[in-house]
Structure 1
Amino acid sequence: MTNAPILLLGGLGKTGRRVADRLEARGVAFRAASRSTPIRFDWDDESTWDTALAGTGAIYLVPPAEHLDIAAIGPLLARAGDRRVVVLSARGADYAGEPALERAVRENSPEWTVLRPSWFAQNFSEGVFAAGIEAGELALPTRDGRDAFIDAEDIADVAVAALTEDGHGGQIYDLSGPEAISFPDAVARIAAARGRPISFGYRTPAEFAATTPGELGQFLGALLGGIAQGNADYVSDGVRRALGREPRSFDDFVARTFSPEPSEPVQA
């Protein structure tokens, strides 16, 4: 690796923010580029691409959720030349063959690493499930299906290792936590940490899709429905392969994130 800055595309998201924090702590130069940053990057405006890429030596690529069609990724990476690329994909993305996202990275980048994480533990605190947790009722299409939730801190650790260290090129890391647990169990653990009841209920994939605008709702509804069929009920070894240690547990995440809510003041 050179001392050239690392370009973070998705640097304001759940994993991107954590990658940025780690790079800053290590004294590694980076550039987080988006539509709202001083150096702009817009997937829909190719005139912003070259300025964002200029002078960088590696890319952390998080495809934006609103771009389920990843047709722009190949042309972007073709401009990126010989830069190291670490891309955030998803565990199980290869169920129907090589995903178009990963193929675009592999075909256009001489040194690439693919991260395939399970559902993020942080979805319960800062993602798609957070509103239900706060409201005291989370309803999903998952039934009792289980997932080995990955801590976003572990994703960031693996991403930074792949961006800054040798030995990760050409690797596909399936990332998960150390145990598969059901969504009702996850909610129960959060409720116990919070010290208040939080219920879990069922919502069909179509009903769930209606709560999220556009194609993303349908996409997430289908994924969550697949969990009910047991599609995610397994543990992956990617964190251990990449970092030589075990992944953080869901209980670790809950203990760090959900503290007991304060009691109501006693009326005099």
Structure 2
Amino acid sequence: MKRTGLLSLTLILTAVLLASQGLAGIAHASLDVEARVDVGQITVSIVLSNVNATLYERLLASRPDFNNSTIPEAIISYLSEQGVKDVYYRRPSLTFDNQTRTIRASFTLTGKGLVKFSYNKTTMARLYEVQAGWRKADVEIKHGRTVVLRLNFSSYFGAPLQKWEVVKYKNGTREALFLNSTAEEGFDPAWYFVLPKDAKLVRASGDTFTFELPARPMDKFLASPFWPFISVVVAVLMAVFYRKAAVKFVKPRVAA
């Protein structure tokens, strides 16, 4: 009896171990997100690469339920639940590379609820405050009613932005906020918020970050203490010119 019980327990433990290994194998993949921030919009690229063959086939079979709007719609829905309404997406795309078992999704987010603009009143540099809470929108990829894969973005990338690294992105010409998450085994999630060229990160806190772009020539002129004086001079010169022109074109009176 003891041997039978021990054998049964061994078989159960072996089955559980194999099942857990199988699930881990199915879930294994690399997840890379690049969010390129621009004035008034953010272009997002999500790449799921080195996908386990079994999972890849399931995702492939999930179309058309899994389509180019699946991820951006999940983001818009999440923002709506958070009370953020004025965010939209455009140019959604979803591609499958069967040879490398890689899935690429891309789209552009835009709207008043995404980026707020202001000036640095001292330097007239342009300041942009970016709402980045949408990075925590979880995505369920379904085939019918069955969940094939759940992308737990809130778990992978939910860390407050002040805890992200400030790095030079790839070729070193742009600053970026970067997080290489270790929140879940079986995935290797990494996210970059890439700032525009010449932009400098001012601060990052919670779900928002602010960057600064250099003042444009016209902005510098408006910030100059001399422009009111120049405006007065221009106004005086125009008045003098107008008076001279008026005298020139007024016909002199003929004496009686």
Structure 2 length-normalised TM? 0.23
User: Higher helix share goes to which structure?
Assistant: 1
Structure showing greater radius of gyration is 2
User: Higher strand share goes to which structure?
Assistant: 2
